[in-house]
Amino acid sequence: MRRLALAALTTVTAVTTTVAVTGAGEGASASVAVSQVYRVPDSGRFTVRGHGWGHGHGMSQHGAQGAARKGLNAQQILAFYYPGTRRTIAADGLIRVLITADTSDPVAVRPRSGLSVRDLGPDGTGTTTYSLPTTVGARTWRVRASTADRDRVQYYDGKAWRAWRPGGRATLLGRGELFSPDGPVALIVPGATVLYRGALRSAAPTPGSTARDTVNVLSLDDYVKGVIPAEMPASWEPAAVRAQAVAARTYAVYDREAHPTRYYDTCDTTMCQVYRGVAVEDSRSNDAADRTAGQIRTLDGKAIFSQFSSSNGGWTSQGSVAGKPAPYLAHKQDPYDGWAGNTNHSWSTTLAAGTISRAYPTIGRLLRVRVRQREGGGDWQGRVEKLVLVGTKGSKQLSGDEFRSRFGLKSTWFRL
């Protein structure tokens, strides 16, 4: 990785004062105390140069592609990015995915062949199923709350919402979910419809609530098919796509095991991992899911927290679980991330000093940014962990993560 000359950047005073290293060897976490001062240039605009996109923990998706281009297979890629873990074929069962795109309370779907409603009953484990009729002129079917513990079934015929009586009753005995054994069901969300495999459940976010969230309940392998192409191009090398399949499945199992009492196991956004249902499925990524069916990465018999990000810029970042460094989310150099097609390996952008001042008005007019601690490893001694904004009225201490998030930078590995 080429080092940028100091003279080509904003005036900088960079002095390494101390180095504190915890651990040793692969997976060691190094925090480097520095004093790197970036003064506001005469133009009032910083040029920000950086590496990577995302947190850098675990697998670099671009790195997986780079490794696959060099001939590594999926298991070799996973072993590199999650050192000390092992391949396990043990993942099965269902996964419950919170569908955040559905912001309305009812679960509303388009009619299709085989469309049915399942009554989950008073304890949430019921299996009584009712086939929904095709002769009533329904344009939309929905399940919505009747009371905190019971749902009702309705259909829209183009004129009004009509009640449908499951088993002759006004309501289900519990909450309901819609599904079809004949194929995916089209969920109606604001401004669109989205196809999902499995069942679409009406779930109460809190006990005793009449509010409802939509939760997609489906098999792990079907779920992974809706994740892979939302996270990685299906056109990439098969080994990279298969590595993504295993990482995504592992992440889902970890999330499921970590939240046994929550009404969903994982979500469909970058807060968990992106899941977009059938619409994004691709035959190549579906093949990757099928060829790795049931495979996850484990440590001591348990699914790991298989974090991944777009690009690590050439160094993975130390990750943690339950506040402790995870040995398999190691801080180490990555020889695969910097392949020619990775535009996120190195990047640059501009940031106005005035934008920073307005974001933190108590400091007054920004005079300089002082980076005080970096992660260690690579250009400029790695990712920013701590910095101070110094202005005409005062100063403000920030983490590198807060600065990155506030100003839309691709990663915390940057200099001004």
**80 and 110, same structural domain?**
no
Res 30 pLDDT > 80: no
**68 and 124, same structural domain?**
no
**Which residue matches tokens 């960079």?**
14
Question: What is the token pair recorded at 376?
Answer: 């260690």
**111 and 196, same structural domain?**
yes
Sign (positive or negative) of CA dihedral 106, 107, 108, 113: negative
pLDDT at 307: 98
119 close to 128: Cβ distance less than 8 angstroms: yes
**167 and 199, same structural domain?**
yes
CB atoms within 10 A of CB 362: 10
Instruction: Tell me, yes or no, whether 116 lies in a domain.
Output: yes
**241 and 180, same structural domain?**
no
- Distance (Å, whole) CA 321 – CA 328: 10
CA 360 to chain centroid, in Å, comes to 29
> Is 103 exposed, middle or buried (CB count within 10 Å of its CB: 0-12, 13-18, 19+)?
exposed
Instruction: Tell me, yes or no, whether 224 lies in a domain.
Output: no
Instruction: Tell me, yes or no, whether 372 lies in a domain.
Output: yes
Res 292 pLDDT > 90: yes
- Distance (Å, whole) CA 376 – CA 403: 18
| Distance set, CA 362 to CA 359, 365, 396 (Å) | 9, 9, 8
**411 and 376, same structural domain?**
yes
**84 and 146, same structural domain?**
no
Nearest to 142 by CA among 185, 92, 196: 185
Number of domains in the chain: 3
Nearest to 296 by CA among 338, 344, 255, 331: 255
Q: Structure pTM? A: 0.90
Q: What is the largest CA-CA distance in the chain?
A: 80
**258 and 176, same structural domain?**
no
Residues facing 402 on adjacent strands: none
What is the chain's mean pLDDT, rounded? 93
Host domain of residue 75: 59-93+231-262+271-325
CA 415 to chain centroid, in Å, comes to 26
Instruction: Tell me, yes or no, whether 279 lies in a domain.
Output: yes
Please report, as a single letter, which amino acid is at residue 404.
R
**235 and 183, same structural domain?**
no
Res 3 pLDDT > 60: no
Question: What is the token pair recorded at 161?
Answer: 């919402």
**305 and 363, same structural domain?**
no
**207 and 157, same structural domain?**
yes
- Distance (Å, whole) CA 199 – CA 181: 10
DSSP 74: H
Instruction: Tell me, yes or no, whether 330 lies in a domain.
Output: no
DSSP 172: -
pLDDT tens digits for range 216-262: 999 999 999 999 999 999 999 999 999 999 999 999 999 999 999 99
pLDDT at 91: 72
pLDDT at 92: 81
**411 and 357, same structural domain?**
yes
pLDDT at 355: 98
